[in-house]
Amino acid sequence: MAAEDAVAMKNKGNEAFKAKDWPAAIDFYTKAIELNDKEASFYTNRAQANIKMEAYGYAIADATHAIELNPDFAKAYYRRAVGNTAILKHGDAIHDWKVVVRKNPADKVAKAQYDACQKMVKRDAFLKAIEISDAPSAAEGLDLENIIVEDAYDGVRLKDEITQEFVDDMISRFKNGKKLHRKYVFQIILAVKDIIYKEPTMVETHVKSGQKITVCGDTHGQYFDLLEIFRLNGFPSESQHYLFNGDFVDRGSWSTEVVLLLYAYKWLYPSSFFLNRGNHETDDMNRMYGFEGECKAKYNERVFKLFSESFSALPLATLIGDKYFVLHGGLFSDDETSLDDIRKLNRHGQRQPGQSGLMMEMLWTDPQTEPGRGPSKRGVGLQFGPDVTKRFCEKNGLEAIIRSHEVRMEGYEVEHDGKCITVFSAPKYCDSTENKGAYINIESDYKLDFHKFDAVPHPDIKPMAYANNGMMTLGFGYHSMALGVLEGRA
């Protein structure tokens, strides 16, 4: 009877998966496993739903369990390979791709992924070999004054300072599929890099009477949804402040448009438009998830290198009214970490976050429901419980932390007894998740006012259109895989 009930739960999980409700699918697959923990396909189905939720560490663990139950189950190796590829562990992934190809020699998709993974392993080794700790800036030798903007360029001209007229024209150009002149792209990046470099690692701001600050989560190259936030909530102004909490780029195929518009507003309103760094404002993620390829396709490699330098200059957190600590990922492995530690952190001495340390934790960690700390569901960083959040808030005199970094089906979620708030601003994420987007308004009374919004139509360009070899289209439902997405039988 338990076996039949388990299959029924699995079938409900498949229905939820097809409806793109990944959390519900995971819950049903978990119930199926609780009823029958010897069926490998239950684990591979849950692994696929975890991949959709970017819980790659959980997906790898599920796939490994499935392999232990059935060492001949090709789909389990496939899932584990996707999970390790997603967290850039190409050396681990390549072994599983090799197994999949051996077990399914006619699977052209798996063969292509195996070949791509081999190239990535070689590329990673090459980049490590040529890495220079004190490399010259990509701005060296860039003679902006002598870059000619041709008479045929039909946009507003940018002089020494940015104007509202120029920003309005940018918005229109991008909506119509046009690009900025590369001279203006260089100007914007360099101007903003200079502004943000001078900002502290934790920016501190207050909301005065008659003002409002809006906190937005991940936007991930979803340009038309970014414009919807501004349409609904008001465009940036002297009284309408904004904080974008990282992950401006990657996955969505208008990442250059998103980050250039955000940078333009930062230049226009340097003291009231704020940007925190996310885990996708990093080189290794940009190489995998599309931003590097998009920069090269729409502009050139130098544009990407300048963006990379500017990303490493971004602040890591913002403190709003001494009440809300806003950062992309979450809290820390050490209870002794304080706001003063963040203030003292020299982010300029470490361009990339690495695999450990304060910067990595600020960009990568996630909340969990259980007390204490646990291993990361992503396979990178860690997870922190409600007791960790409570101690941090009490120690630092905070009402709550606000973070992003994770899809929430309603666009936001209040957790940890109200002290941990997640906000995510990319609705219908990657065109494959039926989630809403959200943003949070904070006025001078410092109450949190949550707003949800739906995705808007966009031109027919798929997510990850510029990703490395199309590799990370795996597991996101952008094409049907030869091995199938879910196991319908048990």
C-alpha dihedral sign at 289, 292, 298, 303? positive
90 is catalytic: no
Backbone angles phi, psi at 155, to 5 degrees: -100, 175
Q: What is the 3-state secondary structure (H, E, C) of the chain?
A: CHHHHHHHHHHHHHHHHHCCCHHHHHHHHHHHHHHCCCCHHHHHHHHHHHHHCCCHHHHHHHHHHHHHHCCCCHHHHHHHHHHHHHCCCHHHHHHHHHHHHHHCCCCHHHHHHHHHHHHHHHHHHHHHHHCCCCCCCCCCCCCHHHCCCCCCCCCCCCCCCCCHHHHHHHHHHHHCCCCCCHHHHHHHHHHHHHHHHHCCCEEEECCCCCCEEEEECCCCCCHHHHHHHHHHHCCCCCCEEEEEECCCCCCCCCHHHHHHHHHHHHHHCCCCEEEECCCCCCHHHHHHHCHHHHHHHHCCHHHHHHHHHHHHHCCCEEEECCCEEEECCCCCCCCCCCHHHHHHCCHHHCCCCCCCCHHHHHHHCEECCCCCEEECCCCCCEEECHHHHHHHHHHHCCCEEEECCCCCCCCEEEEHHHCEEEECCCCCHHHCCCCCEEEEEECCCCCEEEEEECCCCCCCCCCCCCCHHHHHHCCCCCCCCCCCCCCCCC
What is the C-alpha separation between 222 and 463, in angstroms, rounded? 9
**Which member of 90, 241, 280, 416 is catalytic?**
280
Q: Catalytic residue positions? A: 280
